[in-house]
Structure 1
Amino acid sequence: MPLPSDALPDYNGPETPVQRSVTVLHVDDDADFCDLVSIYLERESERLEVLTAADVDEALDTLDAVDVDCIVSDYEMPGRDGLEFLETVRERELDVPFILFTGKGSEEIASDAISAGVTDYLQKERGTDQYAVLAHRIENAVEQHYATREVERGFSAIETAREGIAFLDEEGTFRYVNAAYAELYGYDREEMIGKHWEMLYPEDHVQQIHEEILPSVPENDRWSGESVQQRKNGDRLVVDHALTYTDDGTLLCLVQDITEEKEVERTLERERRRFEQFIDAVEVYAIFSLDTEGFVTSWNQGAERLKGYDGEEIIGRHFSVFYPEAKAEIGYPDELLETALAEGSVQDEGWRVRKDGSRFWARVLITAVFDDEGTHQGFLKVTRDTTEQHERVRSPDAPKDLLDYALDVLDDVFYLFDPEGNIVRVGEQATMTGYSREELLSMSPLELFPPEVRPRVESDIERALETGSATTEAPILTKDGETVPFEFRKRRIVDEEGNVYVAGIGRDIRDRRRRERRLKRQLAQFDEFASVLSHDLRTPLSVVRGRLELARDTGETEHLEQAESALDRLDELIEDLASVMREGELVNDVTAVDLGAASRSAWDALETAGATLAVATERTIRADEGALARLLENLLKNAIEHGEGTVTVTVGDLEDGFYVADDGPGIPESERDDVFEIGTSVKEGEHGVGLASVKQLAVAHGWEISVSESEAGGARFEITDVESV
């Protein structure tokens, strides 16, 4: 229900989108294409006025000077791309529609654009029909923007609030109540408007409101606390209540029902007192009282003896503190409470942890506690130490008949779990984790994995028990903190007595992962070539087609000159692409190569002027000697040209590769993602393919290459995933 009309300001609404022109800022680093888009958009709609900018900096200057209604931007541009431009625009609190109009289209870019909050996403296509579509998208986006802004000025937030909200006049009568407020008291809103607030209070509480609460509101600017009120049917309720006055004397009231919480508190306090009267007499078992969330409210002396805590230390702490860290992190204790609440009780058996960190094997019964009306009050948890019985079962000879085939000479890691997920046997190779076999037998298997993968590992163990087999890929967490990728194959087996176990083999898959990474990089390089064909070549072609169509329509020959210029650009791009692709074909004869000697040989083949080479490696790597020479020549030449002859270049070792670093001017961070692309200039005024060839040579070897800043502030190229001899 809206506020009464006399409480709302007069407002006729803003000028609608139909009444106004639309100023569009189009940002694209291709000037010819930008001009073409402007011509077609303004031909498609008289409402559109198009401003253009060649890059993000020029666009931001335009936004400082002109109010625009919509921004249309390319994705791939020098300096900052379209999504970085969007981020800068939103940081300026400019919420106008933002349309990404790009020739470099992919599901990944589209997904990133949507996640970043673009208003619309449109891929550049062939022909001129796309400009009509773009004009239509612009007009729709602008109209939707202004319509949405008007809606947000309403009272929707108040209407949908979960808390009860009411406005009262100076006489204490209701002028407005939201749906939550009326529902709380069991009235229709029409029944409350115009009525006095006293209708919501028992007679014995009205005087307190007049004498204590209302006078304190103007004195302290607000009042908050608990109040006893009554519903339409006469039932009493307890509310969390807040009051304050607005400048015009309107009393703003917020309420939230806390009746149930107060009743639970009273019931738990009664149960706690009753429980404490008898639990201290039982010391053989550790007995705990837990609230509905699993926090300890009381326990007996048997619990103090078994767990090692005193009452002051443990009261108020969650009972998950008694479980091994790995099980606590995946929420295992909370799952037990959920099962107990759903089924009445749950039994559990496994390792528990004392205050001093020592472990013991325990058998546990957790029972949900309810009052006479069926309201959940908490849990009763009874624990007994069964370590001695468990150790007899865990003797190395226990599942002997199952392990005769699992010899310690296996290269892989052999393991055996019981149905509770505890390790009962491991092969000698399991000590690669850094733990002894004795330590492993006292641990939960989940402790051998990083916390983020433990839920998945536990789920796979359960699946192996249920279905008979399961396979898991997950990193092992060694004792010294190293992670090693592993593949685990698990199978359920049953001994002659009917006992169920999970047996499995764990295999180190670091070499396989390395091969997968190399293949992925090679595929990514092919995708980049495809991107050049689909984006860099498409834009000049689009310009050619557009200019030819304009020449036919207008008869103006200057459009033919622009088309010829675009065709020249096509020739350059095709020649660069062919040159880079040929580099990869020359990597085939892989042998052991002295990296230091190869670096010096490449240096001697260059005009080095006053530059200096420092070789800080004695490593021998596996590479195609000729291809490695071309890679090093390109990197060294790049450093010399940028350092203008006085640079020092260092070739040194990395853990899994090598680096080439210099003390020259470096590469700006905003340009580092683009330096390996075909057509990127290596020096101002030049159009080169040197660094694109470097990446192709690295990928053809199966290596990874990246660029960052050196310690001296220059450029640092790192080549990794290199196999050493």
Structure 2
Amino acid sequence: MATTDSDPPDSRAGAGLLRDSDRITVLHVDDDQAYAEMVAVYLEREGDTIEVLRAESVSQALETIENEHVDCVVSDYDMGGATGLELLDAIREQRPDLPFILFTGKGDEGIASEAISAGVTDYTPKKSGTDQYTVLAKRIEDATRQYYAELEVEHTFKAIETAREGISFIDQAGTFLYVNDAYAETFGYEPADLEGEHWEKLYPDEHVEQVYEEILPAIPAAGSWSGESVHVCADGNRVIVDHALAMTDAGTLLCLVDDITEQKHREQTLRRERQRFERFVDAVEGYAIVSLDPEGFVTSWNDGAEGLLGYDSRAILGEHVSALYPEDKREAAVPEQRLDEARTEGTVEDGGWRVRSDGSTFWADVTTSAVFDAEGTHEGFLQVMRDISDQRDAGRSREHDRTFLEDALDVLEDVVYVLNEDGEIVRVTEQAVEKTGYERAELLSMDALELFADTDRARIRADIEAAFLDGASTIEAELVRKDGQTIPFEFRKRRLADQEGNVYVAGVGRDISERKRRERQLKRQLEQFEHFGSVVSHDLRTPLQTARGRLELAAETGEERHFEAAERALERMETLLGDLSKVMREGEFVSEVHPTSLLEVAQPVWESLAPGCATLQCEDDVTIQADQRALERLFENLFKNALEHAGANVTVTVGRFRDGWYIEDDGPGVPAPDRERIFEAGYSTATEGSGFGLASVRQLVVAHGWDITVAEGENGGARFEITDVAVVE
């Protein structure tokens, strides 16, 4: 259903999901109307379904939202007397969930952080070029469709809440995600009492196994299951429900129940006497009951045996019981061995193949009992036999499913593990072997604490205990590999129990090395920006004060030399600002990273500098994830630094270093007290220049997410070590 400007503001709110054919009405709020008009043209061109309304102020925007249908708001931040976030606060009072995108030229991290905290749907800075409007149109469409999708979910849940049928959702772990009132009332609970609990809570102990073995395995194949099931209520009474289960694409179970307890009681009362008789008949007919003489020859044969094995009593009487065994078992004298065991032990239970009269086979469960008279004289044997081929096949299927599940867990990138109550590892996936460096047998003989440093073991132990006590826990810690290396991991655990009541903790361990590296990168970038702000504040103060003072003297004396001094101070300020701007833009060189050979980039850069008598030595090459253009700039700055400070005959070495690379010269090196300061913007030991060369190096390094330090080289020169690099092995 498309909407027009004449539609009331919420006309589509109850219509459900936004279709591709529906138009999206966007309100663009910006006090620069010329710019706003240009944005509208690009948005309506980029998004065929987008229609743009414009407003110049907060008050005009609120009036438009009140009188027009608006699907999404795009707002500037600074609009004269008010800000976009003040507009957001006002809109949230009328339309709490309306998509709101902050599209602003004020693109600093403070504004971004404030916008996210205020609850904007999305934040995007204004940039040069027309590609930004394609990105903005895509974000408008995504935000609007998400908004109407969430409304659809909300309306669906309202319908579920008021349904007369009992409805619940169960996740893949068997935990109730949602329970409506009718479902909870069926079993005498409130919804909150069941949400977060396992479905086993509603089943008698003797029925739980049936669910695992019969009901749950049937759902993936057919997509659903329906039937009757018995449940336990909050007061301990049992109810019978008409039960339907269906599996969603996401693996969630949808459950529908209808209490049919009274109906079932009436039906049971009507057929109770008949069932009592039929149980005895079925028991006899469902089993082959065969009597044998002391030598193993058949002496009697019931109807159940005739139906199961295909022989009538006249054809089988007098035959040896070995006729019912496959040929290989007869040749191995297995029938005689079983009879001897029964004579000695009294009763023997046996499972194996048996042969019917037509030569077909089935898997039989056989109990053979020796029969003795009152004086202890052996009179023969009694065999009770039943066909369990279907049960055996089902068991083999369950084993196949279990094997498939284990194989599936083994291909996950995360580590899956199970601990017993003593903290011992009782089950791990293949990823645990790869991540820890231990063999599976070694891991299964270890305590979980052995995989962590001594300093971490106390809190790891406390976290495992919390999982057993509270049912779940999460912790981050450094996992220590067999080779001594450490890997940052996040461990999530949940308590579970098996059918015998043994309690375990099952968990998933995720390698968070990349996440930690990203956190370090963001921290370095923040520190870099804070440092640049300090430079602007500090280094510009002196020339500014000089210019001001000289101009005041010129005003008082009229002497030309004061104007010249003021001009030099202003030129110094201009140089500082230009250098600082150049350094800050260095980070923009890093756009997309690709596997890049370190030495294949370094060699051409060195040659382009015409180093004369200087020498470049290339040690072990390494392939890293880097932006090649930015890496070239990085080498250019470092090589220039070496050529400038280490002399015309300098030897520069480039090679691999742990989790990164290094560049080293044989010049005078960097004094220890200066090693922390050389990357600061404005720092220089030269009489000329602004001291921004190595600040540019650090900016390029930080933009890659790396770290850089300076140390003393093997020959006393400067050694720059770049670490925390994504190395491609």
Class of the TM-score when normalised by the shorter of the 2 chains: 0.3 to 0.5
TM-score of the superposition, structure 1-length normalised? 0.40
* Higher RCO (CA < 8 A, seq sep 6+): 1
TM-score of the superposition, structure 2-length normalised? 0.40
